[in-house]
A and B are shown apart, each in its own frame.
Chain A
């Protein structure tokens, strides 16, 4: 007698599993990923706080090289349009978005094989996170060994090489011409003879004197040309002699920027060729450091060459006065376009350092505290800017700040960065497959698990937010509209779950971030939007934790500082999953209750209510004597031949704001078969005909359960989903149900929103103007997830 399928299955799994051998390198893979995540930055909650933030340093057991693992607390997420940062800690080079998420990690062979630390880097203009080039220098502290390298990352392809090197001479910051056609750097050391220098060999040392040279390399533009350096090397000596009578010689010259020649205000008398001018930062023996300008350098007349250094009219640097900047970047202008802002670091009358942003006559200054950057450090400071965002640093610490409207943002600490540059932000979020047109006037927030979208009344996607993880739940702020929307969503499940928020205004992402939450369940907003609550698995995420805490977080146009944790230490129902379904006021806007749903080990759904009350200071808390009560679950008999699968809840604080309720119920047909129907109710009484769902619309499994059904509603608009990617729109027309229509694409969960022309939800037959609504009163229905029938009660 052949073995049954269960025995065959056990045998097959045992055999196949037994054949799998773990790769010893897996542990190293884990460590490498942890190191990579160590680049996640934290943002300062304020300047003072940022200055005293301490790095949490952990050494992972078994990390052979003793790499520090710096793990950050939650940080605000990236706002749309914030440039990506390419930075180095001296060992690796990474590209990160504004939230510190790694977009690319550059690992050319030279980094792995050579112990020389990376000292400076510059990103080729025009670079994007998907296609960028970086030139970087590596040097020891004494300039005994110096190298210049390049690396290009295009999608999954990486190319890299060496531009030059020099023993016994220093190479300072690389700079790119604004069009990315040339990269240059300053070499400081014994003089060289240009005629003997052939790529890739460095200039031979011909004398022991000390001098500066400007070296440049042309760069192929890209397809069909390779994105890599040209073969030509150009260089010319920089004769920096005494600047003026009585001025001491210049020391420590380095290039900081390369400016287009048609930038106004440089007063180069039209003598500057199309190659542009270089900004140099230098010090002289008096110790003062100032920006000087060197120019002009010209493009070479013949193809295949970058600059004509032999005929270049390189002028002596101009020493500016004491009020002049220490380091200056930006101000590029091309093709008649408005000049970009000019950013500079300069000493203030107080001897502190200020960050200046100048556009024409408009100059905005951000004084920098000495513990961020003092005058002594500023001589070695580096500065990079793109649009309204600036990064700067010195001595291994870096900071990011941006001008937002007419105000500077808070300084964001970027610890451990020795050099950085900015490039275009990550590409706009991918547009998910659009839904089919929805009925006019209905906007929905929906997710297919991989993105959250706002679908407009005509079916087009008004906004989309791709997420890295797997969206399992979300909740919408009660004041949200399609034009001003706040969503809090959950990614992942169990203790891998995380909570995130985003606010979208007119299709643009205004704010986003990650919420501090451990093992969070589904979140729910308070009816007035003042707080967010969720249940958290207080255990270890294992199989039978059964311990939960209630977490609340204040909300004021975003997450506030007020948080509270309440432990639910007893679990009479032995629930394994417990989640918040809704938050409703019970009597007025000071007391209310949370509706919780849980599932025990037998799959039985239970419902709990937890009282909650608003405090005088605006916080919310559980009453001192609060207990959570197990109440009638969602499955209950409502008559001889019907019982509800889903009981919706209106908000009881204002009867005028309590909208229609919808329940999903089972009906017995004349032939003894069973149907599922959506019933519209008003204050508990049926109001209108039932909408009998087409047979088979919702899946009923062998054990009589309807898995993962969800239903949301707003006024007369109802959305129903099967939890497997299909969702339907059920409109109430005022005197009956309209045509049931399916939403296109995969919809894991969706919530209706008021459309652009919506004057307010129709509640109980009377349309309520927006100003007349009670806070949160238009969000009248509970969002039910993973509702399950009691086994055996729903067989067809």
Chain B
């Protein structure tokens, strides 16, 4: 039986918010874009995440800005664009039936095909896969960023990969 000992809270720390922005905004934007598939909406989400972050930052409550921002961006993207999921999937569907421009380079074409397929996945699966395969987070850190359990991350990634294989026409082993 574990025991939790009651103690004191710790003191906050401070650092320069502009420097935090300079260090993290580009990566946050890339993450947001990969989550929502739209640069302008990603910029909006990242700006909102930084705006929300500032209140806590000035009180010295953020020790790991990168992790905090990652979590904030995931929340922001998924909450702001929940209603746009159908729109995005529909756009992806139309893009996928040759109405959109396709790169000539076969490798790039493959990557577009993969990205389009990724965009067609449910939000939770897509988020888990972007955090795992782009941000290279551990399952635990992915779970923390998504505010879900590790089990959910595992199942989301597992189902997401299976769905990707299906969409890409790969043989499921």
Listed in ascending order, the chain A residues whose CB lies under 8 Å from chain B are: 4-6, 8-18, 20-23, 26-27, 29-30, 33-34, 37, 58, 60-62, 71, 449, 469-470, 492-496, 518, 538-544, 547, 549, 565-573, 576-577, 599-603, 608, 610, 622, 626-631, 701-703, 705, 707, 786, 788, 791
B79 interface neighbour in A30, A34, A58, A469, Cβ under 8 Å: A469
Contact B114 A12 (CB under 8 A): yes
Contact A703 B155 (CB under 8 A): yes
B108 interface neighbour in A15, A23, A629, Cβ under 8 Å: A15
Report 10 cross-chain contacts, Cβ distance below 8 Å, ordered by A residue: A8-B114, A15-B111, A33-B51, A34-B51, A60-B54, A71-B55, A543-B144, A569-B5, A628-B3, A707-B155
Contact A30 B61 (CB under 8 A): no
Query: Apart from A496-B76, A629-B3, A701-B159, what are 17 other A-B pairs with CB-CB below 8 Å?
Result: A12-B111, A17-B30, A34-B54, A61-B16, A62-B18, A495-B56, A495-B61, A542-B68, A543-B141, A565-B9, A568-B7, A571-B4, A576-B143, A601-B150, A628-B3, A701-B152, A705-B152
Q: Which parts of B69-123 form the interface with A (CB within 8 Å)?
A: 70-72, 75-76, 79, 82, 107-108, 110-112, 114-115, 118
Contact B134 A10 (CB under 8 A): yes
The answer for the CA separation of A615 and B125 in the assembled complex, in Å, is 48
Chain B residues whose C-beta falls within 8 Å of the C-beta of A58 in the assembled complex: 58
Using A58-B58, A61-B17, A61-B18 as known contacts, say yes or no to A13 and B134 having CB atoms under 8 A apart.
yes
Chain B residues whose C-beta falls within 8 Å of the C-beta of A11 in the assembled complex: 107, 110-111, 114
Using A492-B75, A495-B61, A627-B6 as known contacts, say yes or no to A10 and B1 having CB atoms under 8 A apart.
no
Contact A17 B8 (CB under 8 A): no
Contact B6 A622 (CB under 8 A): yes
Using A540-B63, A543-B140 as known contacts, say yes or no to A496 and B4 having CB atoms under 8 A apart.
no
Contact A8 B111 (CB under 8 A): yes
Chain A residues whose C-beta falls within 8 Å of the C-beta of B8 in the assembled complex: 567, 569
Chain B residues whose C-beta falls within 8 Å of the C-beta of A20 in the assembled complex: 29-30, 33, 39, 42
Chain A residues whose C-beta falls within 8 Å of the C-beta of B55 in the assembled complex: 71
- Kindly report which residue of chain A lies nearest to residue B142, judged by CB atoms: A543
Contact B48 A543 (CB under 8 A): no
Contact B52 A496 (CB under 8 A): yes
For residue B123, give the distance in angstroms from its CB to the closest CB of chain A: 11
The answer for the CA separation of A427 and B108 in the assembled complex, in Å, is 49
Contact A9 B118 (CB under 8 A): yes
The answer for the CA separation of A495 and B143 in the assembled complex, in Å, is 15
Residue-wise interface mask of B (1-28) relative to A, using a CB-CB cutoff of 8 A (1 in contact, 0 not): 1111111111000001111010001100
Chain B residues whose C-beta falls within 8 Å of the C-beta of A788 in the assembled complex: 149, 151-152
Contact B39 A538 (CB under 8 A): no
B3 interface neighbour in A547, A566, A572, A705, Cβ under 8 Å: A572
Contact B64 A570 (CB under 8 A): no
A701 interface neighbour in B42, B70, B155, Cβ under 8 Å: B155
Chain B residues whose C-beta falls within 8 Å of the C-beta of A565 in the assembled complex: 9
The answer for the CA separation of A492 and B72 in the assembled complex, in Å, is 10
Q: Number of B residues contacting the other chain (C-beta, 8 Å)?
A: 83
Contact A33 B47 (CB under 8 A): yes
Contact A26 B29 (CB under 8 A): yes
Chain A residues whose C-beta falls within 8 Å of the C-beta of B141 in the assembled complex: 543-544
Contact A494 B29 (CB under 8 A): no
Chain B residues whose C-beta falls within 8 Å of the C-beta of A627 in the assembled complex: 3-6
For residue A391, give the distance in angstroms from its CB to the closest CB of chain B: 27
Using A30-B51, A494-B75, A542-B63 as known contacts, say yes or no to A23 and B6 having CB atoms under 8 A apart.
no
- Kindly report which residue of chain B lies nearest to residue A8, judged by CB atoms: B114
Chain A residues whose C-beta falls within 8 Å of the C-beta of B54 in the assembled complex: 30, 34, 60
- Kindly report which residue of chain B lies nearest to residue A18, judged by CB atoms: B30
Top 6 nearest A-B pairs (CB, nearest first) are A542-B67, A603-B151, A572-B2, A569-B7, A628-B4, A542-B64
The answer for the CA separation of A493 and B127 in the assembled complex, in Å, is 15
Contact A541 B56 (CB under 8 A): yes
A703 interface neighbour in B7, B143, B151, Cβ under 8 Å: B151
Chain A residues whose C-beta falls within 8 Å of the C-beta of B71 in the assembled complex: 494-496, 541-543
Contact B67 A543 (CB under 8 A): yes
The answer for the CA separation of A705 and B155 in the assembled complex, in Å, is 9
Chain A residues whose C-beta falls within 8 Å of the C-beta of B29 in the assembled complex: 20, 22, 26
The answer for the CA separation of A539 and B9 in the assembled complex, in Å, is 10
Using A13-B130, A34-B54 as known contacts, say yes or no to A5 and B170 having CB atoms under 8 A apart.
yes
Contact A630 B151 (CB under 8 A): no
Q: Which parts of B141-161 form the interface with A (CB within 8 Å)?
A: 141, 143-145, 147-152, 154-155, 158-159, 161
Contact A496 B140 (CB under 8 A): no
Chain A residues whose C-beta falls within 8 Å of the C-beta of B62 in the assembled complex: 495, 540-542
For residue B24, give the distance in angstroms from its CB to the closest CB of chain A: 10
Using A5-B161, A622-B6 as known contacts, say yes or no to A540 and B75 having CB atoms under 8 A apart.
no
- Kindly report which residue of chain B lies nearest to residue A25, judged by CB atoms: B43
Of the candidates B6, B42, B139, B161, the one having the most CB atoms from chain A within 10 angstroms of its own CB is B6
For residue B65, give the distance in angstroms from its CB to the closest CB of chain A: 8
The answer for the CA separation of A628 and B7 in the assembled complex, in Å, is 12
Chain B residues whose C-beta falls within 8 Å of the C-beta of A707 in the assembled complex: 151-152, 155
Chain B residues whose C-beta falls within 8 Å of the C-beta of A12 in the assembled complex: 110-112, 114-115, 118
The answer for the CA separation of A26 and B31 in the assembled complex, in Å, is 15
Contact A568 B6 (CB under 8 A): yes
The answer for the CA separation of A459 and B54 in the assembled complex, in Å, is 43
Chain B residues whose C-beta falls within 8 Å of the C-beta of A608 in the assembled complex: 4
Contact A568 B4 (CB under 8 A): yes
Contact B47 A26 (CB under 8 A): yes
Contact B152 A6 (CB under 8 A): no
Contact A577 B147 (CB under 8 A): yes
Contact A30 B112 (CB under 8 A): no
Contact A26 B43 (CB under 8 A): yes
Of the candidates B107, B149, B165, B168, the one having the most CB atoms from chain A within 10 angstroms of its own CB is B149
Chain B residues whose C-beta falls within 8 Å of the C-beta of A17 in the assembled complex: 30-31, 33-34, 134
For residue A550, give the distance in angstroms from its CB to the closest CB of chain B: 9
Chain B residues whose C-beta falls within 8 Å of the C-beta of A601 in the assembled complex: 139-140, 143, 150
The answer for the CA separation of A630 and B1 in the assembled complex, in Å, is 6
The answer for the CA separation of A786 and B148 in the assembled complex, in Å, is 8
Chain A residues whose C-beta falls within 8 Å of the C-beta of B130 in the assembled complex: 13
The answer for the CA separation of A240 and B171 in the assembled complex, in Å, is 93
The answer for the CA separation of A58 and B140 in the assembled complex, in Å, is 36
A543 interface neighbour in B10, B64, B148, Cβ under 8 Å: B64
The answer for the CA separation of A323 and B149 in the assembled complex, in Å, is 70
Chain A residues whose C-beta falls within 8 Å of the C-beta of B110 in the assembled complex: 8, 11-12
- Kindly report which residue of chain B lies nearest to residue A495, judged by CB atoms: B56
B6 interface neighbour in A21, A22, A566, Cβ under 8 Å: A566
For residue B2, give the distance in angstroms from its CB to the closest CB of chain A: 3
For residue A335, give the distance in angstroms from its CB to the closest CB of chain B: 43
- Kindly report which residue of chain B lies nearest to residue A493, judged by CB atoms: B147
- Kindly report which residue of chain B lies nearest to residue A631, judged by CB atoms: B1
For residue A135, give the distance in angstroms from its CB to the closest CB of chain B: 32
- Kindly report which residue of chain B lies nearest to residue A565, judged by CB atoms: B9
The answer for the CA separation of A549 and B39 in the assembled complex, in Å, is 38
For residue B163, give the distance in angstroms from its CB to the closest CB of chain A: 10
Chain B residues whose C-beta falls within 8 Å of the C-beta of A14 in the assembled complex: 134
Chain A residues whose C-beta falls within 8 Å of the C-beta of B115 in the assembled complex: 12-13, 16
Chain A residues whose C-beta falls within 8 Å of the C-beta of B112 in the assembled complex: 12
For residue B96, give the distance in angstroms from its CB to the closest CB of chain A: 14
For residue B122, give the distance in angstroms from its CB to the closest CB of chain A: 10
The answer for the CA separation of A492 and B49 in the assembled complex, in Å, is 12
For residue B83, give the distance in angstroms from its CB to the closest CB of chain A: 9
- Kindly report which residue of chain B lies nearest to residue A630, judged by CB atoms: B2
